Each structure stands twice: as structure tokens, then as C-alpha cells.
């Protein structure tokens, strides 16, 4: 059970409104980015809200993504066969962090360390799972991210 004195990352970032804003700004910029636009050219109109809900849940917010969109399994399946590159991954992370600055996401070192940690982990997992023949563990549980605690290596 989480420590009631320490807020979740979801609370610290500003809850659903902050995540909704961050991902709306981010995905608008993605569509103008020469490295990322081709990856997201066929993005559904609901993509932004789905990603915001996913990250909200990962950061300790409501489990709406799991309840309505299939949880971590569904997110993993969306990446299978996409053949994402490390250059795309790096650009995705850098642009998202630029958007975090532009949106006023908390910039304290503790929060940014947790945010960058999750973005690095998640984006690297997406690249691995997107490759041909990837052994994707679709039974992996929904990740839960906190203030820097490590729970052991990811085992696909």
C-alpha cells in the first residue's frame, strides 16, 4: 500500500488535466516532426486520451485504461510489428520532455528523474516489442511507477 504522506506521480504531475494537456501538446507536435510523423500518421482521434489514461494509471492514478482499453496487454499489442527504431525512440522521449517543459510539468529533480526513468523504460520496451519475431510477454502486468524504487529487472 502506498505511503499516504508521499503523493503518487499522478498527483504530483497535476492529475488527469496535466496529463491530458501534456499529451495533447505532444501529439500535436508529433504530427509536425519529420522523425515521428510517419509513425503516427494513422493515429486514431482517441490516441491522445488513451495514452494519457495509460500513463495516469502507471503513475498511480485511476485504472481507467485497464478498465476500458485492455490494460498493459493492449498497449503491448499496439506496438507489435511496428519496427520502431532507436532514433524514433530517442526523438519521442526528447520531444515529450520538451513538451513537459512547455506545459509546466513539475521540474523538480525527483519528479523528473522518475518521469525520465519511465519514459526510457517504456520507450525501450516499445522498440523491443515492435521488432519482427519479438517474444512479447502479453501477460505482463500493468507497470506501476513511483519515486525511483526498482523492483527488479523486467523479464519478458
Report the CATH number at residue 51.
1.10.490.10
d(CA 52, CA 150): 23
Task: Tell me if 138 is assigned to some domain.
Answer: no
Task: Tell me if 100 is assigned to some domain.
Answer: yes
Residue 151 has pLDDT above 90, yes or no: no
d(CA 87, CA 91): 6
State the cell numbers at 113: 528523474
pLDDT tens per residue, range 23-61: 999 999 999 999 999 999 998 989 999 999 999 999 999
The tally of domains found in the chain comes to 1
Task: Tell me if 20 is assigned to some domain.
Answer: yes
Task: Tell me if 140 is assigned to some domain.
Answer: no
Task: Tell me if 1 is assigned to some domain.
Answer: no
d(CA 49, CA 55): 10
Q: Which domain holds residue 23?
A: 9-130
d(CA 120, CA 138): 20
Task: Tell me if 40 is assigned to some domain.
Answer: yes
104 pLDDT band (50/70/90 cuts)? very high
Residue 100 has pLDDT above 90, yes or no: yes
What pTM was estimated for this model as a whole?
Answer: 0.89
Task: Output the pLDDT for position 155.
Answer: 54
SS3 112: helix
Task: Tell me if 3 is assigned to some domain.
Answer: no
Task: Tell me if 152 is assigned to some domain.
Answer: no
Smallest Cα–Cα separation from 151: which of 129, 118, 106? 118
Amino acid at each position: 500500500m502506498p505511503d499516504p504522506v508521499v503523493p503518487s506521480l499522478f498527483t504530483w504531475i497535476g492529475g488527469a488535466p496535466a496529463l491530458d494537456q501534456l499529451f495533447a501538446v505532444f501529439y500535436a507536435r508529433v504530427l509536425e516532426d519529420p522523425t515521428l510523423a510517419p509513425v503516427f500518421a494513422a493515429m486514431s482521434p482517441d490516441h491522445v486520451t488513451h495514452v494519457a489514461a495509460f500513463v495516469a494509471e502507471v503513475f498511480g492514478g485511476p485504472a481507467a485504461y485497464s478498465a476500458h482499453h485492455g490494460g498493459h496487454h493492449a498497449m503491448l499489442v499496439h506496438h507489435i510489428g511496428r519496427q520502431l527504431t532507436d532514433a524514433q525512440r530517442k526523438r519521442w522521449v526528447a520531444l515529450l520532455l520538451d513538451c513537459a517543459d512547455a506545459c509546466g510539468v513539475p521540474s523538480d529533480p525527483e519528479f523528473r528523474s522518475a518521469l525520465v526513468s519511465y519514459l526510457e523504460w517504456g520507450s525501450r520496451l516499445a522498440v523491443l516489442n515492435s521488432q519482427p519475431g519479438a517474444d512479447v510477454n502479453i501477460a505482463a502486468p500493468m507497470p506501476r511507477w513511483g519515486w525511483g524504487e526498482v523492483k527488479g529487472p523486467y523479464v519478458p
